[in-house]
Structure 1
Amino acid sequence: MKYLLTAILLTISISNSYSQTSQEDMLGSWFTYAGNHKISDKFSASTLAQLWTFEVAENFNFILVFGALNYQLTPKLTTTIGYGYGDIDGGFYTDKPHTYENRVFEQFVYKHKIGNLPIDHRFRVEQRFFHKLDFKSTSHRLRYRLGTKIKLNKTLFIRVHDEFLATIDDEIIDENRLYGALGINLSKSVNVQFGYLNRKIKGLNLHRLQAGIFIKTDHRKKQVD
């Protein structure tokens, strides 16, 4: 653990020691809170908040919050419908006005194993409604994420996933997000992850440190004997 923290601090120190002007050259950050709240055997609610910054822990880029309702069709397949709200910075080191987003999405997640390796597939469709000053626009996005979680012991695990995104508007904008992290189970219901995310979009190759906390709660009524 101390070696991981040392590496993160060294990376931050190096990134802040240079005067860089391109967002592609900057090391940014991506902070995540995600919660899953069991309501019944079939239904659960999801909550999420994300903060992106152009530089490590500074220079605001984007914030997103959302809530969603999940229904477990089978032990392997879960469907979801949700709503999110976002605030997007006008640009890297610019005074352009922010863009605000209302987002509706539908998804399903399918989980299985290849041997002893757990595999998860997430398919998502998003309808995105933007407004900036008096201008409004709409776009649609398709997303597919392939991931796995590798347990190292009872406390530590590795999380890896790769996600492809395609925005369908006047043109198709492709994006790819590759993520790898070390996870630490703080309890049966809480874990934290520290990792790296590589985001490729519109010809840019962006590098982001990621830190996240993930929480599970169970609100089902306890059966009394």
Structure 2
Amino acid sequence: MKPSIFLSLLILLFSVFQRASGQAVEKNGWLFWSHQQKLSERWQFSSDVQVRSSDKLGYANTLLIRPGVGYKLKADQTITAGYTYFGTWERENKQSVHENEHRIFEQFQIEHKIQRTEITNRFRLEQRFLNQEGDRFFAQRLRHYITTQIPLFTDPLFEKGTFITVQNELFLNLEGQAKLGTKLFDQNRSYFGLGYRFNEKIELEAGYMFRYIIDEVNTRNNIFQLSLRTSF
């Protein structure tokens, strides 16, 4: 998909969600660190750590830790399997209420370039073991993520310099909809960011994410995200 076409589709999707009625609006901040560690020519270790704030940045209420092991089928294709811990701490009546979710995931990622523009497609299947108010149940969902990094002021090989990122991720609930009280499609995340690549191993990026959740009362999350990506 050409970057211009992807950007146009993302803007259209964003505008459709913005016009929807009957919504709650929240403001959040996310800190995100993503790391890849090469183990051999084919094998790699990956990890994501994310801390999220409550509405209006009052306090940190979510911790996500996601390690995985990947295998390169080709130079531009990787399969990964791993585990995710997802914990939340919500304040209710001046007390902290903790809920956790454990996930197993499998994913397939494709990377390619159009000139210097880098495009990544990722398909992730998650098996979710949830604990909500003492009720334990199982669910599955599929996530599709596409991101485009477009160089702005960089060296000829895009090894260093500034870039913009445009991405979108949608969520499909395949199992457990009755327990979750959700529909097949219940969430979409659109993102635009500005980043700097220090070298091939370190990138820093800040951006805005529009997260739309379809529920009894639909929720619009306006999220500021600060991301660090490392690869060794």
> Is TM more than 0.5 here?
yes
Instruction: Give TM-score scaled by structure 2 length.
Output: 0.76
Identity %: 28
Match of residue 69 from structure 2: 69
**2:189·2:210 contact (CA, 8 Å) conserved in 1?**
yes
C-alpha deviation, 1:212, in angstroms: 1.1
State the Cα RMSD in Å.
Answer: 2.3
Which residue identity lines up with residue 102 of structure 2 in the other structure?
N
Match of residue 163 from structure 1: 169
Cα distance in 2, alignment partners of residues 33 and 150 from structure 1: 20
Match of residue 124 from structure 1: 124
**2:42·2:73 contact (CA, 8 Å) conserved in 1?**
yes
Unaligned runs of 5+ in 1: 1-22, 218-225
C-alpha deviation, 1:112, in angstroms: 2.2
Which residue identity lines up with residue 219 of structure 2 in the other structure?
L
Match of residue 220 from structure 1: none
Cα distance in 1, alignment partners of residues 197 and 203 from structure 2: 4
Match of residue 192 from structure 2: 180
Find the partner of 2:231 among 204, 210, 216.
216
Deviation readout 1:141-170 (Å, 9 max, x if unpaired): 110011111111132111111000122322
Cα distance in 2, alignment partners of residues 143 and 162 from structure 1: 10
Deviation readout 1:189-214 (Å, 9 max, x if unpaired): 11111101110002111100000111
C-alpha spacing 1:90/1:27, structure 2 compared with 1 (3 Å): closer
Q: SS at the partner of 1:98?
A: strand
**1:54·1:92 contact (CA, 8 Å) conserved in 2?**
no
Match of residue 51 from structure 2: 51
Cα distance in 1, alignment partners of residues 91 and 143 from structure 2: 24
**2:193·2:207 contact (CA, 8 Å) conserved in 1?**
yes
Q: SS at the partner of 2:63?
A: strand
- Describe how 1:1-225 pairs up with structure 2 within 5 A: 24-55=24-55, 57-90=57-90, 95=95, 97-114=97-114, 116-132=116-132, 134-152=134-152, 153=154, 154-168=160-174, 169=176, 170=178, 171-172=182-183, 173-202=185-214, 203-217=218-232
C-alpha deviation, 1:96, in angstroms: 6.9
C-alpha spacing 1:61/1:215, structure 2 compared with 1 (3 Å): same
Cα distance in 2, alignment partners of residues 113 and 184 from structure 1: 18
Deviation readout 1:32-55 (Å, 9 max, x if unpaired): 011000000100000111011124
Unaligned runs of 5+ in 2: 1-22, 155-159
**2:29·2:225 contact (CA, 8 Å) conserved in 1?**
yes
Instruction: Give TM-score scaled by structure 1 length.
Output: 0.79
Match of residue 9 from structure 1: none
Cα distance in 2, alignment partners of residues 93 and 207 from structure 1: 25
C-alpha deviation, 1:79, in angstroms: 0.3
Which residue identity lines up with residue 189 of structure 1 in the other structure?
K
Cα distance in 2, alignment partners of residues 91 and 174 from structure 1: 25
C-alpha deviation, 1:101, in angstroms: 1.0
